[in-house]
């Protein structure tokens, strides 16, 4: 099991992503001081506590998690669209518009 303190920092960052914005797994890893730990962020999202806005964390190319991750194909996209996240014609998030800048909140590195 990874460092619970690291998971806590990942969850704190996820909670800080504002409505209408998204962050990538790699972006959260970088903000936690572990720039090569995008997969670890994904693992943390799979074990996240209820109520955390995990749907706001996406892949680096703007694509969504696998269809079963949020209870059904297309549900994550619907949740993000309901918050005002902008999508491209290919179904990926328009990161140029909807990526969180991370300036609202940061977590110190270990």
Q: So where are the chain's domains?
A: 4-98
d(CA 102, CA 67): 27
Residues 6+ apart with CB under 8 A from 86: 93, 94, 97, 98
Query: Quick one: CATH architecture of 4-98?
Result: Orthogonal Bundle (1.10)
Which one from 54, 58, 65, 80 is the annotated catalytic residue? Answer: 54
Taking Cα atoms as reference points, which of 48, 52, 49, 62 lies closest to residue 94?
62
Q: Are the beta carbons of 95 and 57 closer than 8 angstroms?
A: no
14 catalytic? Reply is no
Q: Is the pLDDT of residue 96 over 70?
A: yes
Q: How many residues does the chain have?
A: 110
**Using one digit for the tens of pLDDT, what is the confidence trace for 32-66?**
999 999 999 999 999 999 999 999 999 999 999 87
């Amino acid at each position: 099991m990874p460092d619970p303190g690291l998971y806590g920092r990942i969850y704190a960052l996820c909670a800080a992503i504002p409505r209408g914005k998204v962050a990538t797994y790699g972006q959260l890893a970088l903000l936690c001081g572990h720039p090569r730990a995008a997969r670890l962020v994904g693992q943390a999202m799979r074990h996240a506590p209820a109520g955390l806005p995990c749907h706001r964390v996406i892949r680096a190319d703007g694509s969504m998690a696998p269809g079963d991750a949020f209870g059904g194909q297309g549900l994550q996209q619907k949740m993000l669209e309901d918050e005002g996240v902008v999508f491209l014609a290919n179904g990926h998030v328009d990161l140029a518009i909807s990526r969180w800048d991370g300036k609202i909140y940061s977590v110190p590195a270990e």
